[in-house]
Amino acid sequence: MAHKRDGCSPVESELIRTLGPYLVPHPKRDGYIYTPTGAELHIWTLGNKATSMRAARGEKYGTIVIDEAAWCANLHDAFLTAIQPSLADFSGYAIFASTPRGQKNDFFRIFRGLADVRFCGSTADCNPLPELQAFYTEQKRRAAHGRLNPKFFRQEYDAEFVDLGDCLVSVDMIQEYEIEPILPHENWQIHIGMDLAFSVKEEADFCALVAVARHRSTHDLFVCGAYRFKEAQPRRMLEELKKFNAPFHASKIVIESVQAQTAIVNQWMDEEHLPIVPVKPEKDKVTRFQPTAQFYANDRVWHAQSLPIYFKDELTLFPISEHDDMCDALAYAIMSFGNYWDEDDGPGRFWRQGSEEDSSRDVWEAA
């Protein structure tokens, strides 16, 4: 059992590779029959309440393995109501395996209340592969230097039940396409968010660029590019922006424009043929990022596999991260697809969101 059907794929592939000539598909269940003995393997998904409450009903099992149990929906009630009775005939047992994923899920509840034997181990203790040992050591070093959320490290690598409530986006919310869309494409709108910082000092903030594509039909979001750098010269910043935008041809480039930044952004708008939209940020960083975090929580955001590791680190550490420039740029890019900023009656450029019928047009314009 797993939260998604593809969660069982590694086991299924290994089974077919090892016992392929002796396996036949089960005629009534999602699973297989081992022909020499008649032994059966059934595959169940526990991704939502309905499928969880149907799992194992009417069956008789000797062993049940529930993988990634912390991601399974309604697991506590499903186990007591449907899964546990299926073990009664053979006095069978269930194995719950998962990354802890904090304390606000049924896996933690079961671990604390139902488990007879509990094993909790770290990556270093459980996995003898040398390359993973080296990776564990490197991640531990990054956590110690504040470059990786220490709570995330304790959860993912030391298998501790910790509360990640301080951070808005957790690693399990991040998804990647198996086959990424080819961009630019007529089915996708691409916007770029940019956060400016004028300094090259080591402790200073970064200039951050994040490109986000939105599908015109499903409105799913695809973070297709991210880049940060330090620069004090506006002209060089503009060159970096052009270079970043070259493969995307974004229809809108949203740039934070406050105080001294306003004159520079206005100059870029006057001199360059780029769809630049200056915005004045409202409220605080956390409040601005809340809608973006909700998109992640609703499984509406996908990441390109080529995104730099520092983008993921900053995203999963926000708002306690050392730098938050990329989160700002991401929030600007995503909010630019909606009605976050209203039309401005004053002079200068503004943007508005068109209706669904005219969403294919570039809707930024000069006042």
Q: Are residues 131 and 197 in the same domain?
A: no
Same domain, 97 and 204: no
Number of domains in the chain: 3
CATH assignment at residue 312: 3.30.420.280
Q: Are residues 187 and 290 in the same domain?
A: yes
Same domain, 333 and 271: yes
Domain match, 322 and 204 both: yes
Alpha carbon 319 to chain centroid distance? 16
pLDDT of residue 152: 73
pLDDT for the residue numbered 146? 64
* DSSP three-state, residue 115: coil
In this structure, the answer to whether residues 113 and 150 fall within a common structural domain is no
Same domain, 155 and 193: no
Please list the alpha-helical segments (H only) found in 115-273: 123-126, 130-144, 150-156, 234-245, 260-271
pLDDT confidence of residue 164: 61
- Residue span of the structural domain in which 139 resides: 124-164
CATH number of the CATH domain containing 89:
3.40.50.300
The token pair at 270 is 């006057």
C-alpha span between 121 and 131 (Å, rounded) = 18
Listed residue (254, 246, 280) closest to 191, CA to CA: 254
CA angle 12-17-23, nearest 5°?
70
0.85 exceeded by pTM: no
Question: What pLDDT is attached to residue 367?
Answer: 29
What residues of the chain score a pLDDT lower than 50?
340-367
Residues 6+ apart with CB under 8 A from 274: 241, 242, 245, 253, 268
Tokens of 262: 């306003």
> Distance between CA 108 and CA 366 in Å, rounded?
55
DSSP-derived secondary structure for 236-253? HHHHHHHHHHTTT--SEE
Residues 6 or more apart in contact with residue 358 via CB below 8 angstroms? none
pLDDT tens per residue across span 305-351: 999 989 988 898 888 777 889 999 999 999 898 754 433 333 333 33
- Among all chains, which residue has been given the structure tokens 């930044």? 261
